[in-house]
Amino acid sequence: MSHDDEPPAARRRFLAQGAAAAAALLAGGQARSDEAAPPGIPEWMKTPGADVGSQTYGLPSRFEAGVIRNVPKGLPQYISASSRTPLQDLDGILTPNGLFYERHHGGIPDIDPARHRLMIHGLVDRPLVLTMDDLRRFPSESHIYFLECSGNPGFEAIKGRTASDLVGLVSCAEWTGVRLATVLAEAGLRPEARWVVAEGADSAAMTRSIPIAKCLDDALLVYSQNGERLRPQQGYPLRVLLPGFEGNMSVKWLRRLNVTAEPAYSREETAKYTDLMPDGTARQFTFVMEAKSIVTRPSGTQRIAPGFHEITGLAWSGRGRIRDVQVSTDAGRTWQDAALQAPVLSRALTRFRLPWTWDGTPTTIASRAIDETGYVQPSFSDLTAVRGLKSFYHNNAVVPWRIAADGEVVNGYA
């Protein structure tokens, strides 16, 4: 079920509560503690503010200085590491470029775009070496897609405190670039072409194999994100973007595309990014990120009071659009449909909302996503009954939040 607005009755109750509080304040029933509250005149109204030239690149307010990427503490080094998006602090579906999650395997290279080249070779009729200017002459497209690390989180890494700790390795942006299919057509694919092996220009020479069907479908060669050129952390000046596939495959700092008949079986698709099963075998080439969701407010480390609240969060699926999000406020005994905020896009984050009045009784809340294929996000017990606990990747289980009598919200797995 999709709705753009919350139920009118809930909205009327909320507005009535706000109006009553304002009336009490103006009537002197509640003392003002700060002259910034109307009708007082705050200090920032008494003198002109900063001039327009004080920031040549816009920055957030100093009062938002705590909204930053979440870098795990205690890392032995930061060259092969990650930072997480603070999902619990954001609204809407787009992630600001400065808060987009990162995952690096060999640090962040400092690449001069004028010297950068993309080579396309292998099973093609016309091998190419393209400059960034060459690529920008191809027809461009812009699309909104999520990007998610497949280890978001691992099966034994679900003890974090915040939404960012648990699933902060997902973000969403508008991406601009040229379709990979367009560039491959320029090179001329040979009939035996089945894979394209992408290689990055970082010190790890990140290498992943991409099925030719994906390359000819919606894969992009991206040079801009949210309207500006890629940040160095996101692959400047060029990366692959594979909508709905695990983030490791969207190779950053792209320098080479080798068209082949077989996958490369690189380190990142053999020793890593495979799914260990209970019987000792491993699933390989499990590219698609399955349907997933999380409540971001109220969520871990937040505190609520009895009364009206809007439960909100994010849902996404690598297989297409989100069809429904169901929310439980009674530890999974019952579920009700949340409203989906437009636009609901294929393989993009979708914001959901549910009006809720908390009576102060301890409880557990959670969400589960259903995508357009009918796939239902599983509980952790249902998922591990099939997958076991040996795997690290592709954990898309329901995330519960436990609310105590004093309103403190904590990880329901803890």
- Tens of pLDDT along the chain (414 residues) come to 444 444 555 555 555 554 444 444 444 444 445 778 898 888 888 888 888 888 889 999 999 999 999 998 777 777 888 999 999 999 999 999 999 999 999 999 999 999 999 999 999 999 999 999 999 999 999 999 999 999 999 988 788 999 999 999 999 999 999 999 999 999 999 999 999 999 999 999 999 999 999 999 999 999 999 999 999 999 999 999 999 999 999 999 999 999 999 999 999 999 999 999 999 999 999 999 999 999 999 999 999 999 999 999 999 999 999 999 999 999 999 999 999 999 999 999 999 999 999 999 999 999 999 999 999 999 999 999 999 988 889 999 999 999 999 999 999 997
- CA pair distance 256, 8, nearest whole angstrom: 55
| Closest-CA residue to 358 (of 399, 400, 412, 405) | 405
Residue 387 has what DSSP assignment?
H
pLDDT of residue 25: 43
pLDDT of residue 9: 58
Query: What are the structural domains of the chain?
Result: 81-283 (3.90.420.10), 292-411 (2.60.40.650)
pLDDT of residue 11: 53
pLDDT of residue 33: 57
> How do residues 38-79 score in pLDDT, each as one tens digit?
988 888 888 888 888 888 899 999 999 999 999 987 777 778
99: burial class by Cβ within 10 Å (0-12, 13-18, 19+)? buried
Tell me the pairing of strands 292-297 and 81-83.
unpaired
- CA pair distance 188, 202, nearest whole angstrom: 28
What SS3 class is residue 271? coil
Contacts of 176 by beta carbon, 8 Å cutoff, 6+ apart: 140, 141, 142, 222, 223, 224, 225, 227
pLDDT of residue 295: 98
Question: How far, CA to CA in Å, does 160 sit from each of 71, 233, 246, 318, 391?
Answer: 13, 24, 22, 24, 18
- CA pair distance 167, 402, nearest whole angstrom: 17
Tell me the pairing of strands 292-297 and 307-316.
antiparallel
pLDDT of residue 75: 74
pLDDT of residue 323: 98
Positive or negative, the Cα torsion across 369, 374, 377, 378? positive
In angstroms, how far is the first alpha carbon of the chain from the final one? 31
| Contact criterion met (CB below 8 Å) for 363 and 331 | yes
Q: CB under 8 Å, gap of 24 or more: what pairs does 264-271 form?
A: 264/195, 264/197, 264/207, 264/208, 264/209, 265/209, 266/197, 266/207, 266/208, 266/209, 267/207, 268/105, 268/206, 268/207, 268/208, 269/208, 269/209
Backbone phi, psi, residue 404, to 5°: -85, 170
> How do residues 121-164 score in pLDDT, each as one tens digit?
999 999 999 999 999 999 999 999 999 999 999 988 788 999 99
In 146-250, alpha helices (H): 163-167, 180-187, 212-215
Per the structure block, which two tokens stand in for 125? 């009729």
Neighbours of 109 (CB within 10 A): 17
